[in-house]
Amino acid sequence: ETTPSPYKRVLLKLSGEVFGGGKVGVDPDVVQSIARQIAEALWATGTQIAVVVGGGNFFRGAELKHRGMEQTRGDYMGMLGTVMNCLALQDFLEKQGVETRVQTAITMAQVAEPYIPRRAIRHLEKGRVVIFGAGVGMPFFTTDTTAAQRALEIDAEVVLIAKQGVDGIYDSDPKTNPGAYRFDTIDPREFLVRGLKVIDAAAVSLCGDNSMPMLAFGMETEGNIGRAIAGEKIGTLVSR
Ligand code: UDP
């Protein structure tokens, strides 16, 4: 018995901060809760789910650069961090009885499949959750941009961006401006002109150019992953 979702295939982006529960490293309790939400959404809707995982709970190239490292080497460390998050999510999804595959943009045959888009689509069609790790495999990119690129290449219908600490896109920082206004919907061009945050500009630009909608929503409310996958109107929709 499945409840309808408007989506046949979605790309869910989980930022690294979600995995760490606010700290460095992986918090297994948090990952277990995320895995349960994904599993329940999968069974409730039958929607095909691909996941792009961030790595900010381990390393960010830009931060390492500020502390004296080469940006490119720091970026590779960042990409490797995302793979640890992928393996944690894979483990808890499989414990929920969900079949999964991890595909990485940097080959590491003992740990994961290489990124092969057509194979990823086959996995999704068989009901497996596909988890993409190591970003796009190139320094100077982010996992938001990865989410946009993967969504386009595997022909997903929407990019669902789960955020920690913010429940949508505002006209100014709601942490410093209590009067900040949250958009229900915003055109990607307006997002870029206003220089808004929460999603990377490169990702918004890529999705905007290719008519790929993005939904940014907060993780604080339990069950929001399921709501986003079911097409409920939460957070902010970036769409033309
Ligand atoms: N990164 C990269 N290329 C990519 C994806 C990620 O160089 O295609 C690096 C970059 O240093 C980034 C880090 O990996 O800061 C972690 O990714 P991100 O910051 O996107 O993670 P999130 O903010 O989602 O936790």
What string of pLDDT tens digits covers the 240 residues of the chain?
A: 466 789 999 999 999 999 998 889 999 999 999 999 999 999 999 999 999 999 999 999 999 999 999 999 999 999 999 999 999 999 999 999 999 999 999 999 999 999 999 999 999 999 999 999 999 999 999 999 999 999 999 999 999 999 988 999 999 999 999 999 999 999 999 999 999 989 999 999 999 999 999 999 999 898 999 999 999 999 999 999
22: left (phi over 0), alpha (psi -120 to 50) or beta: left
Ligand 1 contact via 20 beta carbon (within 6 Å): no
Residue 205 marked as a ligand binder:
no
52: left (phi over 0), alpha (psi -120 to 50) or beta: beta
Q: Which class for 126: exposed (0-12), middle (13-18), buried (19 or more C-beta within 10 A)?
A: exposed
Residue nearest to atom 19 of ligand 1 (CA): 56
Catalogue the E-assigned strands of 55-157.
Answer: 100-104, 113-114, 129-133
- What DSSP designation does 109 have? T
Ligand 1: centre distance to CA 43 (Å): 30
Whether 111 contacts 83, CB under 8 Å: yes
| Bridge partner residues of 160 (DSSP) | 12, 215
Report the pLDDT value the prediction gives residue 137, as an integer from 0 to 100.
Answer: 98
Structural domains of the chain ordered from first start: 9-238 (3.40.1160.10)
Residues 6+ apart with CB under 8 A from 209: none
Report the pLDDT value the prediction gives residue 2, as an integer from 0 to 100.
Answer: 61
Whether the CA torsion 82, 84, 88, 91 is positive or negative: it is positive
Ligand 1: centre distance to CA 53 (Å): 9
Complex ipTM > 0.90? yes
Ligand 1: centre distance to CA 83 (Å): 11
The two tokens of residue 134 are 């190591």
Residue 140 marked as a ligand binder:
yes
Catalogue the E-assigned strands of the chain.
Answer: 9-14, 48-53, 100-104, 113-114, 129-133, 158-163, 185-186, 214-218, 236-238
Residue with tokens 């920690």: 164
Residues 6+ apart with CB under 8 A from 157: 6, 7, 8, 9, 10, 213
Read off the pTM: 0.96
Ligand 1 contact via 60 beta carbon (within 6 Å): yes
Report the pLDDT value the prediction gives residue 22, as an integer from 0 to 100.
Answer: 81
CA distance linking residue 183 with residue 236, whole number of Å: 6
Ligand 1: centre distance to CA 60 (Å): 6
Give phi and psi for 183, each to the nearest 5: -75, 140
Report the pLDDT value the prediction gives residue 33, as an integer from 0 to 100.
Answer: 95
The two tokens of residue 83 are 């793979």
Residues in the chain: 240
Whether 75 contacts 105, CB under 8 Å: no
Q: Which of 15, 57, 75 to mutate to test the pocket of ligand 1 (most atoms within 8 A of CB)?
A: 75
Ligand 1 contact via 123 beta carbon (within 6 Å): no
Ligand 1: centre distance to CA 118 (Å): 24
The two tokens of residue 65 are 């650069």
Residue 139 marked as a ligand binder:
yes
Whether 19 contacts 85, CB under 8 Å: yes
Q: Which class for 21: exposed (0-12), middle (13-18), buried (19 or more C-beta within 10 A)?
A: middle
Residue 196 marked as a ligand binder:
no
> In angstroms, how far is CA 61 from the centroid of its own chain?
18
